[in-house]
Amino acid sequence: MSLPSFAELSLDICLEKALLKAGYLEPTPIQAHGLPIILKQNLDIFVHAKTGSGKTLLYVLPILKECLQWASAVGSQKEISNQGIRGIILVPTRDLAQQVLGVFNSIMRYCPNEIQLVNLCADSSELFKKSLLSLQPSIVLSTPSLLCKFINNKAINLNVACFKYFVIDEADFILGIGYQNDLDSILAAIPQTCTRILLSATLDEEIDCLKKKFLSKPLQEESHSEESTQKGSISHFFLHLDTIEDKFLLTLVLFKFKLISGRILIFTNSSDTAYRLKLFLEAFYIKACVLNGELPFTSRYNIIEEANRGKFDCIIAVDQVDLKPKKPQKLAEDEFGVSRGIDFKGLSVVINFDIPTTVKAYCHRAGRTGRNIAHGTTLSLKSDSEASDFEGIVQFLKKHQVEMKPFLFDIAQVEGLRYRAMDVLSGITANCLNESKVNDLKNHISISEKLKNHFEANPLDLKSLRQDKDLRSKKNKSHLKHIPDYLLSTSARGISLPKLDSEFKYSLSKTTAFSATNHSKLKKKRLSRDPLRKIK
């Protein structure tokens, strides 16, 4: 069963209106197949689909439809006493909770005030959260460890007559960061009568075990992992580079000569590399930000919001999800992996500055682009030391009939830029990296809502935070803003490098920045405007 439009779901008018307002004009393939199963057949469902396929609406719409039916009964004075939690959603991190909350808020835009959602991941006290839970909200959003804590403290009471939906989103990520014990405790407290929805981007033995524990009703499985090869697709490219310095030089060329366009996300495997790349790009007046798990949650959320508003030319993300924590139960709640679930609006290109160490990590990085039915591109910069990890990725893609194509670029064409690039890179010392990290933290502290009142009462504290030296003004010089034509090799002038559009197709049209002919025309134009030339 599938549906061509949301109208066939017989949704409340306020949900249909909100869907249109939020830009959901028609269901994605996974929504078209999954929503009728959940809403009309009342079956447990396991959904295996790539990130960005629209899985979130699979549970948002059914939960809100159930809540609206209850609110309507309250309005007609038929069921005033039947108040309670109607749906619980588990996500692995606070960042993903904030993202899911954003989807709920957009679809709840026109819903009555009786429908309340409590986000247990919010930055508020435990006492305040308990007081909200005592009011019996309609929906609870949480990480497993937080939900387990409130269940054990008797702050959450699930009325079998009310409770209808239990959702585990990003189940593979949840299991991967040490939530297994918490999940077992939660499952013991969840009524068997509710509809259970399990969503995962990957399949493995742990997911199979969770399916057996979690799904109790007649089961429907929906697998749409190959959907990306149809409407929405991702093109995969790689470039072999001999040294790490070549990676920096290539990244500079991609941005400076506009060989890539749209919103760009660059992944590194360490915070040092991320901040070194940020300082390097900023030296050439390319705006960049670092999205790092070491930053506070509110800071990370602000960075994502600013990036989605187009404030930065690129986002440099530290992806350390491959590193297993020594104490997973303690670290899991604050675990941050930008490659998992975080939604960047209109992201066209993902660059793997460092090759991920696992196939799973590569798939999740690539999944940040090509979301829904859009086209996306990944470019992986490979060195000799990363050959083993890269080969595993290539073989995995080949097994699934996906080609990893070479990016036809000869770095010798821009050899003239190497001196400038290496001069800037050599100036980014360990002290510079530490200062940049500290300044990042201080900047985010200065805009913290929690500390707003403190800074208003103590303006000198805020002043001292903002008196840190500007690393870019110290290291940068204005001549780095523009790359002159003569720095390119003779063979590179007047020719085009492979320009990559949002679909990463090679273009052989002349590049303005490299054209000696254009340079000559501009020179003649400037001379014609010179008033001194008119004096005889």
Residues 6+ apart with CB under 8 A from 209: none
Ramachandran category for residue 518: left, alpha or beta (phi over 0 → left; psi -120 to 50 → alpha):
alpha
Instruction: For tokens 């007046």, name the residue.
Output: 285
Q: How many domains in the chain?
A: 2
The amino acid present at 137, given as its one-letter code, is: P
Q: What is the pLDDT of residue 514?
A: 35
Query: Could you give the CA distance from residue 473 to residue 431 in angstroms, rounded to a whole number?
Result: 16
- 369, 365, 352, 361: which is closest to 392 by C-alpha? 361
Q: What is the pLDDT of residue 180?
A: 84
What one-character-per-residue DSSP string does 202-232 give?
S--HHHHHHHHHH--SSEEEEEETTGGGSSS
- Domain-located, residue 412: yes
Query: Could you give the CA distance from residue 263 to residue 280 in angstroms, rounded to a whole number?
Result: 19
Q: What is the pLDDT of residue 473?
A: 44
**pTM of the entire predicted model:** 0.69
158, 136 in Cβ contact below 8 A? no
**Most distant CA pair in the chain, distance:** 97
Q: What is the pLDDT of residue 518?
A: 45
Helix, strand, coil in percent for the chain, rounding step 5: 45, 15, 40
Same domain, 251 and 183: no
Give the long-range contacts of residues 147-154, CB within 8 A, separation 24 or more: 147/88, 147/90, 147/120, 147/182, 147/186, 148/182, 148/185, 148/186, 150/120, 151/185, 151/186, 151/189, 152/185
Same domain, 177 and 295: no
Q: What is the mean pLDDT of each run of 10 residues along the chain (536 residues)?
A: 74 92 87 86 81 85 92 63 86 89 94 92 90 94 94 90 92 80 90 90 78 74 50 80 94 87 89 94 90 76 78 84 44 51 74 92 84 79 93 91 89 87 92 84 63 61 51 53 58 47 38 40 50 44
Beta strands in 55-164 (DSSP E): 87-90, 117-119, 139-142
Q: What is the pLDDT of residue 327?
A: 45
- 194, 111, 125, 175: which is closest to 155 by C-alpha? 125
Same domain, 271 and 197: no
CATH code of residue 349: 3.40.50.300
- Domain-located, residue 184: yes
3-state SS class at 402: coil
Same domain, 256 and 183: no
Residue 164: domain span: 6-225
What one-character-per-residue DSSP string does 288-311 give?
EEEE-TTS-HHHHHHHHHHHHTT-
Q: What is the pLDDT of residue 463?
A: 58
Same domain, 213 and 271: no
Question: In this structure, what is the dihedral angle of CA atoms 518, 520, 526, 527, given to the nearest 10 degrees?
Answer: -160
Q: What is the pLDDT of residue 423?
A: 92
- Domain-located, residue 356: yes
- For the stretch 99-154, pLDDT in tens is 899 999 999 999 988 899 999 998 889 999 999 999 999 999 999 999 999 999 99
